[in-house]
């Protein structure tokens, strides 16, 4: 393998129902940075049925070039036709880097492509950078349940492939009115033993989530005061994409349900973000939530033990703070 033959940073621009997934734009944003350091450009690859028209939107977010494979076999995602298409694109364009979103599609497609191309693949990267000396891609990812970070390189194989979780990278600024430099690749798709049949596509409505699975919890305690005040927590949770949980005191008071209880006699949770609102921080409550990645506490009582475990503690009245926070958050999330 002559590594010099491989040029360009490619992004698998995932689309579902002819709508580009947000992570694709984020990947283009990162790809632009990498391409600048490598002295090359960014190509977005879009696979699907009737997707050629989407090419410009990828240019708007910074793709220098867009490669399209537009074919009825690519209507719904299935592994083999997508692998065949991606593999064919890689074989003919020889990119040095290929990025995929770490989605339910990308995490199926990328490994299958890597095995066909026989190159390395690094999953769920949180950081991508170019080694100043070797120009190799340095791919950093969490391992062991997030206990350590590992930087992976793929020095002797090309392309260097990585998947990146949605929300990790930043989108580049839009270039209004940008038009794609388009390559439409014609491929033949011959059905073989590896083709599967999609019998049904069912879009799912998300049910109420188990607080143990929630990434963000807005948790209330005795200090919330009454059931009506929990509405403030619910509004905030809705805006920030979290779930409402509570301390035992609140469950005992009948303000919240038992399945929302965090603590010794409730559930043990480990969200990315835990808001402790009006929760004093009894030891039995702390036992259920102190492993949360980030803890933000709001409490009137400056001496409340919850402040010992909180990353950020705010001494004050949540009834005043929360509505403002909810409004500001709405603007940011919009």
Partner 1 sequence: MDFTLSKEHEMARTLFRDFAQKEVKPLAQEVDETEIFPTETVVKMKKLGFLGIPIPKEYGGQGCDTLTYAMCVEELSKVCGTTGVIVSAHTSLCAEPIKKFGTPEQKEKYLVPLANGTKLGAFGLTEPGAGTDASGQQTKAIVDGDEYVLNGTKIFITNGKEADVYIVFAMTDKSKGTKGISAFIVEKGTPGFTFGTKEKKMGIRGSSTYELIFTDCRIPKSNLLGMEGKGFGIAMQTLDGGRIGIAAQALGLAAGALETTIEYVKERKQFGKSIAKFQNTQFQIADMATKVEAARLLVYKAAIAKDTQKSFSLEAAMAKLYAAEVAMQVTTMAVQLHGGYGYTREYDVERMMRDAKITEIYEGTSEVQKMVISANLL
Partner 2 sequence: MKIVVCIKQVPDTNEVKLDPVTGTLIRDGVPSIINPDDKAGLEAALELKEANGAEVTVITMGPPQADAVLREAMAMGADNAYLVTDRAFGGADTLATSTTLAAAIKTLEYDLIITGRQAIDGDTAQVGPQIAEHLDIPNISYAEDIKVEGKDVIVKRQYEDRYHVVKVQMPCLITALGEMNKPRYMTPGGVFDAYRTKEVKVITRADLSVTDEVIGLKGSPTKVAQSFPKSVKPAGTKVILDPKDSAEYIIEKLQEKFII
Q: Please report, as ranges, the residues that interact with partner 1 according to CB under 8 A.
A: 264-265, 283-284, 286-287
Q: Which of residues 186-225 bind partner 2 (CB under 8 A)?
A: 193-204, 216
Distance from C-alpha of 86 to C-alpha of 282, rounded to nearest angstrom: 54
How far apart are CB 143 and partner 2 at their closest, in Å?
A: 6
CA 143, 144, 149, 151 torsion-angle sign: negative
Pick what 283 binds: partner 2, partner 1, none; C-beta below 5 to 8 Å, kind-dependent: partner 1
> Residue 283 gets which letter from DSSP?
H
Tell me which of 36, 155, 252, 259 binds partner 2, using CB under 8 A: 155
How far apart are CB 333 and partner 2 at their closest, in Å?
A: 7
Number of residues this chain uses to bind partner 2 (CB under 8 A): 83
Query: Which of these segments, 39-47, 63-71, 137-145, 225-233, binds partner 2 (CB under 8 A)?
Result: 137-145
Cβ-based neighbour number of residue 193 at 10 Å? 6
The most distant pair of C-alpha atoms in the chain lies apart, rounded to whole Å, by 70
Query: Given the complex with partner 2, which of 1 and 184 has the nearer CB atom?
Result: 1
End-to-end C-alpha distance for the chain, whole angstroms:
47
Q: Which of residues 67-126 bind partner 2 (CB under 8 A)?
A: 76-80, 83, 103-105, 107-108, 110-112, 114-116, 118-124
How far apart are CB 269 and partner 2 at their closest, in Å?
A: 13
Query: Given the complex with partner 2, which of 131 and 252 has the nearer CB atom?
Result: 131
**Which residue, chain included where needed, has tokens 């109420």?**
208
Task: Confirm or reject binding of residue 43 to partner 2 (CB under 8 A).
Answer: no
Non-local CB neighbours of 228 within 8 Å, separated by 6+ positions: none
How far apart are CB 285 and partner 1 at their closest, in Å?
A: 11
Among 217, 221, 233, 226, which residue's Cα sits nearest to residue 285?
A: 221
Query: Given the complex with partner 2, which of 64 and 290 has the nearer CB atom?
Result: 290
Distance from C-alpha of 261 to C-alpha of 245, rounded to nearest angstrom: 6
How far apart are CB 182 and partner 2 at their closest, in Å?
A: 28
> Residue 231 gets which letter from DSSP?
H
Task: Confirm or reject binding of residue 6 to partner 2 (CB under 8 A).
Answer: no
């Amino acid at each position: 393998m002559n590594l010099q033959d491989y040029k360009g940073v490619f992004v698998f621009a995932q689309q579902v129902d002819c709508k580009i997934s947000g992570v694709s734009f984020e990947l283009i944003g990162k790809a632009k940075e990498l391409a600048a350091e490598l002295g090359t450009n960014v190509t977005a690859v879009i696979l699907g049925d009737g997707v050629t028209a989407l090419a410009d939107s990828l240019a708007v977010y910074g793709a220098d070039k867009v490669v399209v494979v537009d074919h009825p076999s690519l209507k719904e995602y299935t592994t083999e036709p997508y692998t065949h298409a991606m593999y064919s694109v890689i074989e003919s364009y020889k990119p040095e880097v290929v990025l995929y979103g770490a989605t339910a599609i990308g995490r199926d497609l990328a490994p299958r492509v890597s095995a066909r191309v026989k190159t390395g693949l690094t999953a769920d990267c949180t950081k991508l950078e170019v080694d100043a000396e070797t120009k190799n891609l340095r791919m950093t990812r969490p391992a062991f349940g997030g206990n350590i970070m590992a930087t992976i390189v793929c020095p002797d194989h090309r392309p260097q492939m990585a998947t990146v979780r949605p929300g990790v990278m930043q989108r580049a600024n839009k270039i209004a009115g940008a038009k794609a430099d388009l390559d439409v690749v014609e491929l033949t798709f011959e059905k073989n033993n590896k083709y599967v049949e999609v019998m049904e596509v069912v879009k799912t409505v998300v049910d109420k989530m188990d607080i143990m699975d929630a990434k963000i919890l807005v948790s209330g305690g005795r200090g919330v005061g009454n059931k009506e005040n929990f509405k403030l927590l619910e509004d905030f949770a809705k805006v920030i994409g979290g779930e409402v949980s509570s301390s035992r005191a609140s469950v005992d008071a009948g303000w919240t349900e038992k399945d929302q209880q965090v603590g010794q006699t409730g559930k043990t949770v480990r969200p990315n973000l835990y808001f402790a609102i009006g929760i004093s921080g009894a030891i039995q409550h702390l036992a259920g939530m102190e492993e949360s990645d980030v803890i933000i506490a709001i409490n009137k009582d400056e001496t409340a033990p919850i402040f010992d475990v909180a990353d950020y503690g705010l001494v004050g009245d949540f009834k005043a703070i929360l509505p403002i926070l909810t409004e500001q958050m709405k603007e940011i999330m919009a």
